[in-house]
Structure 1
Amino acid sequence: MASAILTAAAPRQRSAVPGFGITFGLTVLWVSLIVLIPLAALFLKTAELTPDRILAILTAPRTLHALKISFGLSLAAAATNLVFGAVIVWALVRYEFPGRRVLDALVDIPFALPTAVAGIALTDLYAANGWIGRLLAPLGITVAFTPLGIFIAMVFIGLPFVVRTVQPVLEDLDADLEEAAATLGAGRWTTIRRVVLPAVLPAFLTGFALAFARGVGEYGSVIFIAGNLPNVSEIAPLLIVIRLEEFRYADATTIACAMLVASFALLFVINALQRWSQNRTGRL
């Protein structure tokens, strides 16, 4: 009893590094300046409009089509990156082959490449007279200046998010677990489904969410290959820029708020699935 009282009365040893108070204060300050205040200003500007005007802006055919293009193609591109990103990660982590380090470095090119440069390169490549475009033209496939071109651009810029999110998780997964499953009679697909997939599923969902978020907000690499035709290949970020150039600031912020709310809702669902997967994996 006496030792417990002495322990409770003993002064706490101060940490050599800044403690919770200063780090929490700096965190709140920085997040407020960078995230919360700009978002609050966005919603306040939109609040200047009446509910009828907001509804009219969001239900306009041009706005609906632009939102459909941005969100629909972003989801499709993220799902595509999820599949092919998994194949790339598996090859990079589980196998040794000539040029593996070069391939690993090439994955990061969309990170470092300016978006305008990426857009120009993709447009030149997939135009009717481009290296790939001229091969697709006889088949009746047009990529540049169509929604298909937007999809390819989003796949290009979103691939690294999936690969770099899943790769360290798969590297930490001991290959002996797969060999143990094989010795117990499990086939390849059973091993992947019962051993590998539960461990990497949260990382897959995180990579999918990051790739989707990047695709929704992408502007520079898309506008060059999109063609930017209203009701055909116009993305929502471009429509926001057009409204700003027209000095229709409230209209622009209304579309931006709609994108923000929809993105938050989808990311919330993805994060909920990620937590469920982590909890389920922990129970297993």
Structure 2
Amino acid sequence: MSSAKKNSIFPGFGLSLGYTITYLSIIVLIPLSAVIFKTTSLTFSEFITEVTSPRVMASYRLSFGMALLAGFINSIFGLLLAWSLVRYTFIGKNLVDALVDLPFALPTAVTGIALAALYSKNGWIGQYLEPLGIKIAFTPWGVLVALIFIGLPFVVRTVQPILEEIEIELEEASASLGASRWQTFRRVVLPILLPALLTGFALAFARAVGEYGSVIFIAGNIPMVSEITPLMIITKLEQYDYAGATAIASVMLVISMILLLAINGLQAWTAKRTGRTR
């Protein structure tokens, strides 16, 4: 008898595994394989030309650069927001907690229009930034604002349960041994939170890389300046250049997988060092 069957408390392990593999194949593996398969209709030189054109390369830099920056910003402020929701009681706390999930509920087009209205030249916020020489809407910074907005809940909702599990006694013991607040946070709390924080970062990054609806309204979609890679794929599809679209998509897929594997590897290493299983 295999160890999987021996240790399982539920019957039908083989059947469950079969359903799982079949489901993942239909939903994930086959569509991704279709992208790679369609790309093979291009010769190698045609593939390189498609995925390394100056306009496409600029979209890579914008999409992945802003996704990483948004993930980093969300990791910091998502941690602060989760800390406030868990450790403090204040008026309107339940409302703030509910508003965290708002980006999940809003259609992406509504998000994009709302952000563009806020940060445009005549918007509620943009009208005060414009005299200072700060332009958000229809620039790469608008892309960053949109990606921060849609990615924040992933960090908060990932870190929040771990914070709730941390016992206050650990911090009190650290303080009683003479540690400052910063030392307690850095040496006691942060190592426990780090795996969850990296998970939230990975989720926010993955969502940001593929985001389309909330970005195109505030980005301005200026060639070589504020065009994201998903928009380049849509443009290729509108031109019936399916091979070109899948070529760009395959590059996005490979880069995203490499970055996510690196983040997950760092998360596993951190969890092992801190003695917390994933």
**TM-score normalised by L of structure 1:** 0.93
Q: Could you tell me how far 1:22 is from its partner in structure 2?
A: 1.4
Q: Distance between the aligned counterparts of 1:242 and 1:70, measured in 2?
A: 16
Q: Distance between the aligned counterparts of 1:17 and 1:268, measured in 2?
A: 31
Q: Distance between the aligned counterparts of 2:269 and 2:162, measured in 1?
A: 17
One of 167, 170, 190 as aligned partner of 2:163: 170
**Corresponding residue number in structure 2 for 1:81:** 74
Q: Distance between the aligned counterparts of 1:111 and 1:18, measured in 2?
A: 36
SS of 1:233's partner is: coil
Q: Could you tell me how far 1:19 is from its partner in structure 2?
A: 2.1
Matched, 1:160 2:153: yes
State how 1:58-97 maps to structure 2 within 5 Å: 58-97=51-90
Report the AA paired with residue 136 of structure 1: L
Q: Distance between the aligned counterparts of 1:144 and 1:265, measured in 2?
A: 31
State how 1:46-195 maps to structure 2 within 5 Å: 46-195=39-188
**Corresponding residue number in structure 1 for 2:219:** 226
**Corresponding residue number in structure 1 for 2:23:** 30
Q: Distance between the aligned counterparts of 2:115 and 2:157, measured in 1?
A: 23
Q: Distance between the aligned counterparts of 2:249 and 2:107, measured in 1?
A: 23
* CA displacement, residues 115-141 of structure 1 (integer Å, 9 cap, x when unaligned): 000000000010100000100010111
Q: Distance between the aligned counterparts of 1:141 and 1:272, measured in 2?
A: 38
**TM-score normalised by L of structure 2:** 0.95
Report the AA paired with residue 181 of structure 2: R
Q: In the comparison of the two structures, how many residue pairs are matched?
A: 272
Matched, 1:266 2:259: yes
Q: Which 4+ stretches in 1 moved above 3 angstroms?
A: 15-18
Q: Distance between the aligned counterparts of 2:105 and 2:46, measured in 1?
A: 41
Q: Could you tell me how far 1:98 is from its partner in structure 2?
A: 1.2
- Find the structure with the greater CA-based Rg: 1
**Corresponding residue number in structure 2 for 1:253:** 246
The 10-residue stretch of structure 1 (96-105 or 160-169) with the greater mean CA deviation from structure 2 = 96-105
Structure 1: give runs of 5+ residues left out of the alignment.
1-7
Q: Distance between the aligned counterparts of 1:181 and 1:257, measured in 2?
A: 49
Q: Distance between the aligned counterparts of 1:269 and 1:56, measured in 2?
A: 28
**Corresponding residue number in structure 2 for 1:3:** none
SS of 1:279's partner is: helix
SS of 2:191's partner is: helix
* CA displacement, residues 116-168 of structure 1 (integer Å, 9 cap, x when unaligned): 00000000010100000100010111111100000000000000000000000
State how 1:208-219 maps to structure 2 within 5 Å: 208-219=201-212
Q: Could you tell me how far 1:57 is from its partner in structure 2?
A: 1.1
Q: Distance between the aligned counterparts of 1:19 and 1:66, measured in 2?
A: 48
Q: Distance between the aligned counterparts of 1:95 and 1:16, measured in 2?
A: 41
Matched, 1:21 2:20: no
Report the AA paired with residue 64 of structure 1: M
What is the Cα-based RMSD across aligned positions, in Å? Answer: 1.6
SS of 1:237's partner is: helix
Structure 2: give runs of 5+ residues left out of the alignment.
none
